[in-house]
Structure 1
Amino acid sequence: MVEANPLKDSFGRKIEYLRLSVTDRCDLRCFYCIPKGFKDFSTPEHWLTFDEIERIIAIFGQLGVSKLRLTGGEPLVRKNLPELVQRLGQLEGIEDLSLSTNATQLVKYADTLKQNGVSRINVSLDTLNPQRFQDITGGNLAQVLEGLQAAKQAGFHPIKINMVVMKGINDDEVSSMVDYCATNDFTLRFIETMPMGETGQDASQNYISLQKIKAQLAEKYDLIPTVMGRGAGPARYFQIQGSNLKIGFITPLSQHFCETCNRIRLSVEGTLYLCLGQDDKIELRDTLRQGINDTELRQLILQAIALKPEKHEFDRKPEQVIRIMSMSGG
């Protein structure tokens, strides 16, 4: 039974959103996420099994977590992921099951994911230029665009495009991405680079404040403040007057949103991270395998929530988070 009082941290924030990484591996190599030549990925014996994942998420659902997002790495490279999706979507308390993806596998999986209970998807897409896409990710842009069309045909709505805006790399494509998303009825979200691990810290030289991007767009469009509803997350949304396009700005550095943070992250190895920009964490996998019962697991989760820090320190201590983004679950 879902408990009447949802999880709250020591700062009074309701914790109702869990981002679950099902793999730290990916079929792309975005330079700001995974270091070039990186091979130190987790191995299958260290991954949470589907049974272990289901058990943990069931407890979270009972405690008041209602939103669950599957992330990676690239979640669709995890074998038999649709089976896990189906199992998680049936758990009590989980009302919103979503997926973050790079879209390379959506031609194959979009219909099955929709049928098995995924309601929304977010797609990482930083450029519409094929050569630039290859430079950033090592992948094929056409494969991603085909995946997005497959998601539309499967009935996903909204489909959110996440664009990390980087100075001197893709900041000249902001208007083109606006046009692309307006044409395809996608929601567009701009994201600031974050100094996560070695790659993120290297990419910080390409940081550009989204306040500047928003000001540029405001010169061209009438931006009307709006809300997104379910799954809005940390973005601040605006609608372009005279269109259906909604644009979100995710600004962890220039205008942080820590005071309303309602999310935590569970890695593929069972590490529960309480903040993307801090190293507060509790390990769940080993305790599961040592025979912890559900009552003890529930108490361990409650103890973890009490550790959630007030805010990140990307601006003051960018060097303190050394784990790469794909290890954290996005």
Structure 2
Amino acid sequence: MSDTRPQLFDNHGRPIQYLRLAVTDRCNLRCFYCMPEEGIAYLPKKQLLTYEEMLRISSVLAELGVRKVRITGGEPFVRHDLTAFLRELSGINGISEIAITTNGVLTGAYLADLKAIGVRTVNLSLDTLDRERFRAITRRDEFLKVQKCLYDLLDAGFEVKINTVVMEGRNTEDILPLARLTQQYPVSVRFIEEMPFNGEGSHYPVLNWTYPRILQELKEAFPGLQKVVDPANSTAYHYQVPGFAGHLGIIAAFTRTFCGTCNRIRLTAQGVLKTCLYDDGVLNVRDLLRSGISDQALRQEFVHAFRHRPKDGFEAERNRHSLITESMTTIGG
């Protein structure tokens, strides 16, 4: 895989290196912070990107400097033939890393395939280690499958990151049990501020469980907690308890303090480009493809979008044409 292709920067000097690609808007869980209880109105298949369209887009973006692709959803593994698509994606010149974010319900059956394809990092969405709270949060009784998936991933040697959305009155008592996983296991547990992308808007008049509050909770339980160096362009602030096998992280997704180094873009399952999680879409790539656009013209459309990127999530939200009411499952996280 080549690293000699040119690197594109946005209008704020940030490189565009990382694509979050949603392969479906469907999910087999109904997490209350992600979508309404009744679910969402899933789009007809013809309105979603085909795998062929995703491969073409990924190839064009690789020519512009994208090196990492994270597969998201919905839940990626509810889409048929996902591993066949991943094999083709891994062959695109310039793509050096493929990662997956999953809820773990179906993932366990595909671990050998993922290893063979070259996937090394899996982010597991897990908000509690308590079966009843899991059922209450996800509206499904699938905790035991997810728990088994976690340990199978670790046993198979994957780099595992647990993503936990911190929700007042729902799972704050799970912060410390999840953090203690890092004592024995080489896992990164990342606590995420809740965002309003649930199909309903914000659940709270004021968000109390922000980065400082989560950090305070961890420091009180682990007085020796130390800040460690954050990887380049990281959205998480990383910490470690001395002697523990894993790491802790906090993602300030609502207060948006990491925007200055953001190198990622998002493509929804419907083919809408988002240059910021908080914008409402800046380019309908699906329609451009189906109108017969050439790769060269498509590259120019991407370049134009990247050079008009908002400085941060607050500017992106101000520029929206409507209030935030979409579900996280429709925008790929």
TM over 0.5: yes
2:27 alignment counterpart: 26
Whether the aligned pair in 1 keeps the contact of 2:193 and 2:211 (CA below 8 Å) is yes
Shift of 1:96: 1.1
Paired residues, what number? 328
Q: Provide, for residues 195-234 of structure 1, a one-character-per-residue CA deviation record: whole Å limited to 9, x for no partner.
A: 225434136766511211211221232122213548x730
Q: Which residue of 2 aligns with 1:322?
A: 325
Q: Distance in 2 between matches of 1:242 and 1:183?
A: 10
Q: How does 1:139-218 map to 2 (within 5 A)?
A: 139=140, 140-156=142-158, 158-202=159-203, 207-218=208-219
Separation in structure 1 between the aligned mates of residue 300 and residue 204 of structure 2, nearest angstrom: 39
CA shift for structure 1 position 154: 2.7
Cα distance change of structure 1 residues 268 and 255 upon mapping to structure 2, 3 Å threshold: closer
Distance 1:186 1:3 in 2: 32
User: Helix, strand or coil: the match of 2:115?
Assistant: helix
Q: How does 1:1-330 map to 2 (within 5 A)?
A: 4-139=5-140, 140-156=142-158, 158-202=159-203, 207-221=208-222, 222-227=224-229, 229=231, 233-254=234-255, 256-313=257-314, 320-330=323-333
Q: Which digits, 9 at most, give the CA deviation of each residue in 1:153-176, with x for residues without a partner?
A: 3321x2000111111111112111
Identity of aligned pairs, percent? 36
Query: In the TM superposition, what whole-angstrom CA distance separates every residue of 1:286-308 from its partner, at most 9, and x where no partner exists?
Result: 11112111111111111121232
One-letter amino acid of the structure 2 residue matched with residue 151 of structure 1:
L
Structure 1 unaligned spans of 5+: none
| 90-99 or 31-40, larger mean C-alpha shift | 31-40
Using the size of structure 2 for normalisation, the TM-score is: 0.92
Distance in 2 (CA, whole Å) between partners of 1:133 and 1:58 is: 38
Which runs of 5 or more residues in structure 2 are unaligned? none
Q: Quick one: structure 1 residues 90 and 31, their matched pair in 2 at CA, closer, same or farther if it must change by over 3 Å?
A: same
CA contact (8 A) 2:11 2:307 kept: yes
**Cα separation, partners in 2 of 1:48 and 1:321, compared to 1, 3 Å:** same
Contact preservation (8 Å) 1:160, 1:189: yes
Alpha-carbon RMSD: 2.2
Indicate how the Cα distance of structure 1 residues 176 and 66 shifts in structure 2: closer, same or farther if over 3 A, else same.
same
Aligned equivalents of 1:7, 1:66: Cα separation in 2: 11
Instruction: Give the letter for the 2:190 counterpart.
Output: R
Once the 2 structures are TM-superposed, how far is the Cα of residue 284 of structure 1 from its aligned partner? Answer: 0.8
Q: 1:316 to 1:47 in 2, by over 3 A?
A: closer
SS in 2 for 1:199: coil
Give the partner amino acid of 2:329.
S
